[in-house]
Amino acid sequence: MSDVSLVRTPPRFRSATGESAGTRWALIAVAFTGLAILVFAPLIAVFVVALADGVAASLESLASRDARDAIRLTLTIAAISVPLNAAFGIAAAWFITKFDFRGKAFLITLIDLPFSVSPVVAGLCIVLMFGANSALGGWLVANGFPIVFAMPGIILATMFVTFPFVARELIPVMIEQGRAEEEAGLTLGASGWRVFWTVTLPNIRWALLYGVLLCNARAMGEFGAVAVVSGKIRGQTATMPTTIEMLYQEYLSVAAFSLAAVLALLALVTLLLKTALEIRHADQLAATHRP
């Protein structure tokens, strides 16, 4: 891999398995330009617009009641849905990798299903299932437990769109690690839970953290599905992304972009941690991820 490095090869003995220096730099330039326009520019624009009226104005808008309510709600939603999905991911990965049963491939396809369903359609599904004019939803509302246009609906929508994240990260890692270590633990007389806590969990901890990280980023930023189920009631069901939309449509640009900047910072921290994990614990992450 290192033989196509920056090491200058004399032109006459150009490596037969590399491109010419000119081609190389041209491709690198295209990559840089493309990502600069497509990725870096939008990222920078968020902060530029957020700080257009100065740091004080930006911070002031974040201290407003709407913004604080939205931040609190988004944190609450993530704090509930991410651990639930992590628990699901661990259970599903355990079931799929420690046992042999028919229909395993089909089960994995079902778990991956939310990735190919539009978030808006996901939200629609939840409205149709639990909305006030469905049988179940009507009964729940009558008993004082509304789901749609309330927090449970937002949690369900968030869990739907982030459903596969943890399972998907854990399954390849646990397949690769096999069952021998757990079997050894069991033979030595450890209980099932003890084997899980002392053998399996330490083996999968970095992959689990990786999955949780991605799951959390998506959970806090989900917009389409939440926009459908939440009803966007200020102070009650307006999450950070839906509040950004409302502020933007009211032409409160600095307020909208300040809140957006908070989410952009979260995205940056997520990427930073993810890259750190990839560098330090590459061998313990899913095989599809690069060394």
* Cβ atoms of residues 6 and 21 within 8 Å: no
Site string for another protein, 16-35 (x = CB under 8 A): xxxxx---x--xx-xxx-xx
Residue 250 binding another protein, by CB under 8 A: no
Does position 184 interact with another protein (CB under 8 A)? The reply is: no
The owner of tokens 């003995």 is: 13
19: region left, alpha or beta (phi > 0 left; psi from -120 to 50 alpha):
beta
State in angstroms the smallest separation of the CB of 273 from another protein: 10
| Contact between 117 and another protein per CB under 8 A | yes
- Closest to another protein by CB, 64 vs 134, is 134
45 binds another protein (CB under 8 A): yes
Question: Could you tell me which of 71, 87, 38 has the C-alpha nearest to residue 215?
Answer: 87
Among 67, 71, 73, 92, binds another protein (CB under 8 A): 92
Which 205-224 positions form the footprint of another protein (CB under 8 A)? 214, 217-218, 220-224
Residue 133 touching another protein (CB under 8 A): yes
Intra-chain end-to-end CA distance of the chain, in Å: 12
Phi and psi at residue 40, to the nearest 5°: -70, -40
**Is the Cβ of residue 142 or residue 271 nearer to another protein in the bound state?**
271
Angle at 133 between CA 129 and CA 136, to 5 degrees: 50
CA distance 288 to 279: 14
- Is residue 80 close enough to count as binding another protein by CB under 8 A? no
How many other CB atoms are found less than 10 A from the CB of residue 8? 7
**Contact region for another protein (CB under 8 A) — 40-48, 56-64, 65-73, 138-146?**
40-48
- Under rule CB under 8 A, residue 42 binds another protein: yes
Q: Does 255 bind another protein (CB under 8 A)?
A: no
